[in-house]
Structure 1
Amino acid sequence: MARKKKQNAFYAQSGGVTAVINASACGLIETARQHKDKIGKVYAGRNGIIGALEEDLIDTSKESKKAIAGLKFTPSGAFGSCRYKLKSIEENRAEYERLIEVFKAHDIGYFFYNGGGDSMDTAHKVSQLSETMGYPITCVGIPKTVDNDLPITDNCPGFGSVAKYVAVSIREAGFDVASMAKTSTKVFVMEVMGRHAGWIAAAGGLAAENEGDAPHIILFPEIAFNQEKFLKKVDRCVKKFGYCAIVVSEGAAYKDGTFLADAGSVDAFGHKQLGGVAPVVAQMVKDKLGYKYHWAVADYLQRAARHIASETDVEQAYAMGKAAVEFAVAGKNAVMPTIVRKKTKRYSWTIGEAKLADVANVEKMMPRNFISRDGFHITDICRDYLQPLIKGESYPPYKDGLPQYVTLKNEAVAKKLKTKFKV
């Protein structure tokens, strides 16, 4: 089936949002508006892919140029996101047929999915099924994940800003604990995101530029937790530096794979629900060593902190959205733009591409040579990789001491289908 000269586009945000996912949306919408000869309107899914399934579409053409530009400085998902994993085509073909039905009803010929590995898998499957159903849709993924665990791309938009937040936070908390350690808290534990990959935890290591700097210990998912070795390390740090600051990834686990914080349930994606590892580690220190402790969970704060976003991250997020449109109008399908690090002395990068089939459901873990021999910190190789990703400041506009973020109108597109689909 030959493509019509001009069709609409559908954009959706998926999974956990970031400080810069809206920058990708900004790049995509602004670029799409420059290609009016090939792309009509850009519709966004309200609450991610659920918006497509329920035919709950947002007409971004109703938003002003200024409002769309403001997305570049606004955290979280401007159109709503969701944790909803489509099953395989074999398990639930009806979901995919519904997507095609909605796309066809609204003359959508381009599908842009902004998310992680599961999202790339969905985009890939839609590209395949649409061909067999006689309504070909150009599907392009846009990388996004704070976990930095997508393969092929050098790094993932969203990660650099989280990395910056974590490094700054553990440095500042380290100063606080050091000043009170003589008579108060001697051990501080900060929990960060990262179920299977320890990239975010590793970023905390950037704060330790000199011996004795926080963090003294990092617990990675890639390194099996050994309680005896850990407690000895904590005790040595307290005796040598007066205190011990620890960054722990939520996915820290024992040798048998059991998470330290296994809550015994699963989330919408079938992943183990983690109950908070920081208090587990802190209590372990208290019970075995007797040291007074404090713990903190960065939680949503780390991924929503647009006020301290990395300039590199913002630029790359915008570039991925822009590149996605350029790929699509050039006729590329079932691909994802990637960040390619150039082999230059001064950090620089360019845009590459990967097949969705090669990205879908593949996790990129921390290389062993990025982690110190004892398993408790990062190496210089890791530091060289991470450092450029947190560089530069990209402050949002401020008024009366507070950042000014954009809230879109998000006007709904009139529904055309008689049948309803409830997820």
Structure 2
Amino acid sequence: MPSGTLLYAQSGGVTAVINATASAVIQTARKRKVKVLAARDGILGVLREQLIDTSKESIADIRALAHTPGGAFGSCRLKLKSLEEDRAKYERLIDVFRAHDVRWFLYNGGNDSADTALKVSRLAAEYDYPLHCIGVPKTIDNDLALTDCSPGFGSAAKYTAVSVREAALDVAAMAETSTKVFIYEAMGRHAGWLAASAGLAGEGPDQAPHLILLPERTFDEADFLAKAKSTVERVGYCVVVASEGIRDADGRFIADAGGRTDSFGHKQLGGVASHLAGRVQDTLGYKVHWALPDYLQRSARHLASRTDLEHAQAVGTAAVEYALDGMNAMMPVIVRTADAPYAWKVEAAPLSKIANKEKTLPAGFIRRDGYGITAKARAYLGPLIHGEAPPPYGADGLPRYVTLKNVAVPALLAPWHE
């Protein structure tokens, strides 16, 4: 039986299947007779020494995490700076690890989280503290390097494609006397993976979505309006999917919510669909409807992809095995071995080659006119939304999700002051 405890933390925006990863982590560690602590509200909980004893949870509740959305232990957006700039915070992390005999640290997040796990591993080595740090992939943006896809993306992509297909049927039914243009806003700051997944909703120029606006292509308003007009004249209506991160020729976000920034220093986006709807209505005179699904894209566990769920569970299991087997500064990644039939496996990749890297939509995935996806994109995206994994439903007709007890571990250090 290995000596020490394993600490698991969730980071950044949660996904429909991040708790499935947590469930796999805890179950795998229990099989190896290792105690798992979870940080309340991510890395912030480690700094505050607010840790949760997962051994207090029943196995039934831990298994139920696999079909429960959200972040069971709480997540946070807290970007740690360099080891030099934020050394006091990193040293506090090491102090907390020492106090609770944490020998394995699993950080479940995206690019910034991979960077943090890498820095923590380096500081632990500097202090000669025996700690194995493993980054665990998660993001609906699908922008992590080295991994074929990011757990969380497949379910958000499925939700997007289904929502666009269903909304398009509604628009088509009403177009003669009502809505001519419908605009759906997809998450995606710099990478258009989620917007591109909407392309799975239809095939051919006359099937929705007719226009996809991707951050990898400069937004040209005049060209967009002309394309929307010609689509309405040809098809009778136009369904547009716009990534929140589209920019103009000067590099400015089309949707810039008052210039605010989040804790990672990113521009606070949201509202591009509303903006475009106004421009279409004012310029072309069409009746327009728009939708901002926002959190719905990442919380829709009822529409999760079976493939995505299996990915999320597999990386959780592998992360524990890597850590307990002595790996450090690594991440379990998805490796695709075939498109049709789809086949994949999990391999270890160094955090140094993942941290702060960003994988954008390849040029070969974007249609020549810039407003749609190619056959290559369909071959890549299609398998990721395959399969259903619905949660159990109760007599009230609603999904039966679990809420953990989240029993706190007594603090052993002096309170941390930010």
- 2:105 is paired with a residue whose SS is strand
- 1:71 is paired with a residue whose SS is helix
How large is the RMSD of aligned CA atoms in angstroms? 1.0
Equivalent pair of 1:21/1:144 in contact (CA under 8 Å): yes
- Structure 2 runs not aligned, ≥5 long: none
Report how far residue 211 of structure 1 moved.
4.1
TM-score by length of 2: 0.98
The aligned runs of 1:15-414 (5 Å cut-off) are: 15-36=12-33, 39=34, 41-263=35-257, 264-343=259-338, 345-400=340-395, 401-414=397-410
Instruction: State the AA in 1 paired with 2:5.
Output: N
Instruction: State the Cα deviation string for residues 358-416 of structure 1 (Å, max 9, x = none).
Output: 11011100001100000000001000000000000001000121110010000000111
CA distance in structure 1 between the aligned counterparts of 2:154 and 2:142, rounded to whole angstroms: 9
Equivalent pair of 2:180/2:286 in contact (CA under 8 Å): yes
- 2:349 is paired with a residue whose SS is strand
CA distance in structure 1 between the aligned counterparts of 2:338 and 2:236, rounded to whole angstroms: 41
CA distance in structure 2 between the aligned counterparts of 1:177 and 1:343, rounded to whole angstroms: 37
- 2:289 is paired with a residue whose SS is strand
Structure 1 residue ranges (4+ consecutive) displaced by more than 4 angstroms after TM superposition: none
Report how far residue 265 of structure 1 moved.
1.6
CA distance in structure 1 between the aligned counterparts of 2:374 and 2:80, rounded to whole angstroms: 39
Instruction: State the AA in 2 paired with 1:327.
Output: Y
- Structure 1 runs not aligned, ≥5 long: none
Instruction: State the AA in 2 paired with 1:28.
Output: V
Instruction: State the Cα deviation string for residues 97-122 of structure 1 (Å, max 9, x = none).
Output: 00000010001000000000000000
CA distance in structure 2 between the aligned counterparts of 1:174 and 1:422, rounded to whole angstroms: 52
Report how far residue 275 of structure 1 moved.
4.0
Instruction: State the AA in 1 paired with 2:230.
Output: R
Instruction: State the AA in 1 paired with 2:207.
Output: D
CA distance in structure 2 between the aligned counterparts of 1:332 and 1:135, rounded to whole angstroms: 15
Report how far residue 256 of structure 1 moved.
1.6
- Identity across the alignment (%): 59
- 1:342 is paired with a residue whose SS is strand
Equivalent pair of 1:201/1:220 in contact (CA under 8 Å): yes
CA distance in structure 2 between the aligned counterparts of 1:275 and 1:171, rounded to whole angstroms: 22
TM-score by length of 1: 0.97
2:7 is aligned to 10
Instruction: State the Cα deviation string for residues 73-113 of structure 1 (Å, max 9, x = none).
Output: 00010000000111111101000000000010001000000
Equivalent pair of 1:190/1:295 in contact (CA under 8 Å): yes
1:416 is aligned to 412
- 1:135 is paired with a residue whose SS is coil
Report how far residue 229 of structure 1 moved.
1.1
Equivalent pair of 1:127/1:136 in contact (CA under 8 Å): no
Instruction: State the Cα deviation string for residues 194-241 of structure 1 (Å, max 9, x = none).
Output: 000000000000001244221100000000001111111100110111
